[in-house]
A and B are shown apart, each in its own frame.
Chain A
Amino acid sequence: MTAEIRMRAVDYSLFYGDFKALNSISLDIPTYRISAFIGPSGCGKSTFLRSFNRMNDLIPGVTTSGKVLLDGNDVSKEDVVNLRRKVGMVFQRPNPFPKSIFDNVAYGPRLHGTKNRSDLAVIVERSLKGAALWDEVKDDLGKSGMSLSGGQQQRLCIARAIAVEPEVILMDEPASALDPVATLKIEELMNVLKKNYTIAIVTHNMQQAARVSDYTAFLLTDENRAGNLIEFGPTKQIFTTPSDSRTEDYISGRFG
């Protein structure tokens, strides 16, 4: 099963000032698949994920070497506004804006030039349906996004992300602040979303990675605390017949 490649890291290293957080990582993110990044806390999963939409640009003192590619193009050469439109992100803590549900979802389309109210209404409905939230909120789209439950807020953030029709959705532990029922909903949703989007998810929950992902990357810090990619492959293979003993130790719960 060879899939097309949507995003690719090539020999990618990242430094916070003098501290090397990622050490020469190369990895392919297959199109319309879910790729999970697992590894112990502090191994660089979030840092790596944020490299795909250049969120690390916001942190002073960050330097990088190597490349991250989207559809074969170096993301560092792309207009960052355009890049983030194509590569959306869902954060660990649900972060809806203190605005109405409608305005939350319409935020991105408005930025990118959709002004017409009925066009926006179409996009909002489609996005909320896509995030499996429509039925719960359709009667009161004027209600504040902050008044929703945690799980609903996170699905609102997913709706907000897909409203600009990205190619890739990055998710940084999207369910770690949610209860098991809400977590399950998000996982089911991811399975639907991957038909139209390429998804990369950070999780420290190995069962979650095993349940939802098609591919799994295992990251681990070396003796200098820099994050290294230990192994990347089809999830089934990583969880049943890992080729590196450290991967086996981690997934069998021997450390981390």
Chain B
Amino acid sequence: MTSGMRRTGTEKTMKAVLLISALASLMIVLLIFLFTMKEAMPAFREIGILKMLTDTTWRPGNDQFGILAMIAGSGLVTLGAVLLGVPLALGTAIFLSEVAPNWIVKIVRPSIELLAGIPSVVYGLFGMVVLVPLVRMIPAPGNAGFGLLAASAVLAVMVLPTIANISEFAVRSVPKGYREGSLALGATKWETISRVILPAAKPGIISSVVLGLGRALGETIAMIMVIGNSVILPAPITSNPLSIFLSRARTLTGNVAVEISYATGIHESALFATGVVLFILIILVNSSARFLMRRGVN
């Protein structure tokens, strides 16, 4: 065998190894989906997919397994997290990329990265001792502090690193020429940011928000600790529609985590079905992020 042939051989082996590792992650995702799906099948078959998705009553003792209340809980808490978290994260990103002097960036950016490393149970504890008592101070009958608002606030901080990081990158990637072109026309720094830089960075910013959404939908333990966990369709507790955020709720993730340890039979299968719904939701969210990012490149 010549050395040339040997090198071609190594090349081929390397390619195969890399291909296998790449395929492995795909296989794992598929396996997880298939096994969850398999366990969920009895529930889907006996209760019916449509019935599960549209029924608001979850009462396992009565064989009632509607998950619409949890879908609404997950949806609303995520919406709240976006409303609270996106302005904060975007402000942070703009501050770090356009305003802050280098030495401040060197302090702030690592602390944001640190946020990403805090275990979610610690966020839950923080929410219980700080945010829940704060929310409780809002005067409204039946407001216990535990509920969507406290949970959204916790989530807003949890998704901050994702959104701030990717948005900052998007803002920094805006070509220097746009900035100079705008300033040379007599624009102030803020006019340049709002009229040229942010519009140019929009695709990246949108995908950062969508990735944050995915993270928020999947969050479990911190939600269980502050959201109150009642299986009710969230509704305003006063005449003000915004008071819907003072309502208790339960998330899809929380539903599975709270009940799986004792569930059996069709109840257990219904929890797996909850997992499948969550899985599909997150795949949808993440692939839309990828789609938006690709559209931003072109």
Residues of A within 8 A of B (CB): 53, 55, 58, 81-85, 88-89, 91, 93, 95-99, 107-108, 111-112, 157, 160-161, 164
Contact = CB atoms under 8 A, between A and B. Distances in A.
B177 A58 contact: no
Contact of B184 (A82, A89, A96): A89
A237 to B, nearest CB: 32
The 6 closest A-B pairs by CB, nearest first: A95-B177, A85-B186, A89-B184, A84-B186, A108-B185, A95-B181
A157 to B, nearest CB: 7
Contacts of A91: 177, 180-181, 184
Contacts of B196: 97
Q: Which of A88, A99, A111 counts the most B-chain CB atoms under 10 A from its CB?
A: A111
Interface of B: 175, 177-178, 180-188, 191, 195-196, 199-200
A93 B179 CA distance: 13
Contacts of A97: 178, 181-182, 196, 200
A177 B185 CA distance: 21
A255 B183 CA distance: 36
A107 B184 contact: no
A95 B199 contact: no
A34 to B, nearest CB: 19
Nearest to B174: A98
Given A98-B199, A107-B195, A111-B191, A164 B186 contact: yes
24 contacts: A53-B184, A58-B180, A58-B183, A82-B186, A84-B185, A85-B185, A85-B186, A88-B184, A93-B177, A95-B178, A95-B181, A96-B181, A97-B178, A97-B181, A98-B178, A98-B200, A107-B185, A107-B187, A107-B195, A111-B186, A111-B191, A111-B195, A157-B181, A161-B185
B60 to A, nearest CB: 54
Contacts of A98: 178, 199-200
Contacts, number: 60
A107 B183 CA distance: 11
Contacts of B181: 91, 95-97, 157, 160
B100 to A, nearest CB: 13
Contacts of B191: 111
A98 B197 CA distance: 10
A52 to B, nearest CB: 11
Nearest to A110: B195
B105 to A, nearest CB: 13
Contacts of B187: 81, 107, 111
B189 to A, nearest CB: 9
Nearest to A163: B185
A221 B290 CA distance: 51
A95 B200 CA distance: 13
A112 B184 CA distance: 13
A91 B175 CA distance: 13
Given A91-B180, A96-B181, 9 more contacts: A55-B180, A81-B188, A88-B185, A97-B181, A97-B182, A98-B200, A111-B185, A111-B187, A111-B195
A53 B177 CA distance: 16
B186 A81 contact: yes
Contacts of B182: 97, 107
A108 B183 CA distance: 10
Contacts of A85: 185-186
A97 B191 CA distance: 14
Nearest to A90: B184
A165 to B, nearest CB: 11
B186 A95 contact: no
Contacts of A95: 175, 177-178, 180-181
Contacts of B188: 81
Contacts of B175: 95
A84 B184 contact: yes
A10 to B, nearest CB: 23
Nearest to A157: B181
B181 to A, nearest CB: 4
Contacts of B186: 81-85, 108, 111-112, 164
A107 B178 CA distance: 12
B97 to A, nearest CB: 15
Contacts of A88: 184-185
A112 B185 CA distance: 9
